[in-house]
Chains A and B, each alone.
Chain A
């Protein structure tokens, strides 16, 4: 059975890449281009993973993270960002992010992260 994952990013090609790469490797990939779409999906589906871009215009990825964690606390969230900072990393971890990755994220790195997160859950 495929693992349900929510990928939120305003970059359609990134969503396409994730759909292709993760889909082939046993993930049930659901994508959202913004906060509203993501929240709508969260209402109807249960996810094991969420891959969230930290900079999610117009709203903030951190804000979305806290809403996701409030609704589905057991969900494992992985934050991805092009502008990694110590502050945002600390903030994300405090809210409950399981990992914090810098873009560009290689596929190998990403799969490794999933494994790490699962084993340390």
Chain B
């Protein structure tokens, strides 16, 4: 530690000695310099003889210095110190290597080595506090007596370099200008154009050289950005100011300006401007580049337009999405129609809307029935509840031609008759459009229409969107149709099931009844037969004048009635087997009427036959059909206690059926009772019947594959219609005959 301190101390001493010596040399007091080196201390002296050298050096225009062979500056003139941007004190006594950077070091070493023997010259760069200074160095040996020194002559190349640079950049600039596509304009500090690219002349339409920039290029600022430094209150760019800005060293980049040429043509330009610097870095002028972006602007406009369209489409999509979402949430069909119409009104900006379903079988070639509407008054709704294909309306027209019908103004439509036009105007409708709703298979299933209170022509976009809504509506209608068909068949099935069920219930009762009657009818039948037998036996013996004859007659009648009841019960619970054969309905009617001839005359009932000549034969058990008819006659007679007319008709009831109708002019059947009359055990004749007559009739007719129907108006009479299938080949025959 102490040793180190000693070393430091000795160094300090040496330093101060050296400084003193140097001071002495500089002042001229001392003419010798002792420099410590690897080979021991060397003493350099400048004697009296050397003085002229010193003077020479001092007066030289070039930088000059004397150096030790290692490169330490022994002496230098002011010019050299100036070159290094240092005071002479900061140069003398320093090694030259302190003024060179790493790159020049090697070169300098080589110069110093060679310079000891011969004069060598090389370009070298000194590092100064203000930057690199290119210097042309000449180093050679200097023999002062026996003292070996080096003499260095340095020429500052800065100015020369600058002119070279200017020369080179000028050439480059010329090249650039020549080939530039862009408009490049160079002006000097005064704003006079000194150089310009070919494009600049073309843009300006004149040769711009030596004109004032602001005189040729009158630029108007476009959007206020980027030119804040130079915007005048009138919006015009003061080009002089741009130049001033540039001269201050600032750069303007990418400012959009508009240029109106002398011939009036407008250009959109992108302007950049910046200072043109000399090699001393001072702004000497201004460089403008102007890029013609007129086309770019057009493209940009186009882009904006398509963006706007895109965003419109996006909003359309959102609208449609909203509609779809709303539709998905709605479960009720009517609600769905209304939601669709709401969407239609929203899209078309219309005042009303309606949706119709096509019923192809209705009207003359189809009619449109109103499903839902938006905004119609109840009167209008009533008016348009049903529209036939031949009516004068947009929807009927659309139905006729099978595509969209648009009426932009009813008052200016010639095909619409005055009455229809007035109807529209009274409904507050001036314009309308109707779009057919097509099924997936392409059939028209309905119509969706929108109406405006003022003249209106729907835009293409609106119609395009509307078509999407129409698609939804068509799908809905198709679904509704399918559902209806399903519901119909479901209803039919349910009805059949209910009938079957009722039949089952009835037959359940009948099974019980059947069992009862099977065992009991016999029990009644036999004793009754015996009673009746004895009565008949007695009656055969007695003349009607006998006082007991009447009593026996009543016994016989009542017994017979009991017998009939029992027979009915047996018949219904265990029907007789059917023996079908080909027969003539006219004959059956004839025979059945004969069976009740006495009853008819007794009850003062007139019978009328209306039999179609040669009715088609039926396949039936004539005895059972007779039974049915007799049953109906007896009911009819019962309904006419004070006499009346019984009409029996036989007529064709279509291609394959024959209808036998039995009509009376009796009391008729109450409407409430009509559905019940075919039910077993329902009887209007409270006292006399079991209520099995009509159920038996219906069963017999049903077994024949036919049906029995009733029609009645209380007080006016009742008609039963028995429809029976015609024999198959007979049906064909009668058809061909017809």
Contacts and interface: CB of A to CB of B under 8 A. Distances in A.
Interface of A: 11, 13-14, 17, 20-21, 24, 82-83, 86, 103-108
A17 B526 contact: no
B536 A104 contact: no
A108 B530 CA distance: 13
B528 interface: yes
A11 B526 contact: yes
Contacts of A11: 526, 530
Contacts of B530: 11, 13-14, 17, 104
Nearest to B541: A24
A109 to B, nearest CB: 10
> What DSSP secondary structure best describes chain B's contact surface?
helix
Contacts of B527: 13
19 contacts: A11-B526, A13-B527, A14-B526, A14-B529, A17-B534, A17-B537, A20-B534, A20-B537, A21-B536, A21-B537, A83-B522, A103-B529, A104-B525, A104-B563, A105-B533, A106-B532, A106-B533, A107-B536, A107-B540
Interface of B: 522, 525-530, 532-534, 536-537, 540-541, 563, 577
A82 B536 CA distance: 19
A30 B213 CA distance: 161
B541 to A, nearest CB: 7
A82 B533 contact: no
B576 to A, nearest CB: 10
A81 B526 CA distance: 10
Nearest to B532: A104
Contacts of B529: 14, 103-105
Contact of A103 (B526, B536, B537, B541): B526
Contacts of B534: 17, 20-21
Contacts of B532: 104, 106
Contact of A17 (B525, B533, B540): B533
A103 B533 contact: no
B222 to A, nearest CB: 115
Contact of B537 (A24, A82, A104): A24
Contacts of B577: 86
A21 B538 CA distance: 9
A11 B536 CA distance: 19
B526 A107 contact: no
Given A13-B530, A21-B533, A82 B563 contact: no
Contacts of A106: 532-533, 536
Given A13-B527, A24-B541, A107 B522 contact: no
Given A17-B533, A82-B522, A104 B528 contact: yes
B516 to A, nearest CB: 15
Nearest to B518: A83
Contact of A107 (B525, B528, B537, B563): B537
Contacts of A21: 533-534, 536-537
